[in-house]
Amino acid sequence: MAQLHFDGYYEMGPVAWEDWHAGVRMHGVRFHYTRYYPDGVWLSCYRDREFPFWEFTESVTPELLAAAKVDRAPRIGEGDPLCTAGAYVIEDDWLNKVFEPAWTGGMTWESKYRIVDDRLLVPNPDGPDGAWLFRPARQI
């Protein structure tokens, strides 16, 4: 059975993004970070530059984690969430990550990743697969 790592975090990036708001093209690159905890909880964020994510996760309070699970964490930058959080389950070598923001009226987002060694592979029907790479925690 595949093994998810808990002694560090997973990252992907830089990843190009594009969005349109009121006819205006917004675009850039982002670095994505996720830490998985043994109790079935994940914590994630993205930034437009590299970020000391492990240190950030070590400072997260129970109140911030609870707010992040329902997408009520403080906003930063251009209204992006400081962080998001949710639950996950592992079946065989597949990780199913679930996010349930409070503002959706019960709708949830689910993402599936295949666990392979130190990577989480993202099946992408529209192009090449992506991979989240594991990064061990930096020991201080």
pLDDT tens across 79-121, in order? 889 999 999 999 999 999 999 887 777 788 888 888 988 888 8
Q: How far apart are CA 117 and CA 1, in angstroms?
A: 11
74 pLDDT band, cuts 50/70/90, is very high
pLDDT at 136 over 80: no
pLDDT over threshold 50, residue 61: yes
- Write the burial class of residue 22 (CB in 10 Å: 0-12 exposed, 13-18 middle, 19+ buried): exposed
Higher per-residue confidence, 104 vs 54 = 54
Residues 38-65: what's their mean pLDDT?
A: 93
The torsion angles phi and psi of 50, rounded to 5 degrees, stand at -60, 150
**Residue 69 in contact with residue 44, Cβ under 8 Å?**
no
* Proportion of the chain above pLDDT 70, given as a percent: 92
Q: What is the pTM of this model?
A: 0.83
pLDDT of 123 > 60? The answer is yes
Q: DSSP assignment, residue 138? A: P
Number of C-beta neighbours around residue 136 at 10 A? 11
H helix intervals, 32-125? 53-58, 62-69
Count other C-beta atoms under 10 Å from residue 47's C-beta.
Answer: 17
Is the pLDDT score of 78 beyond 80?
A: no
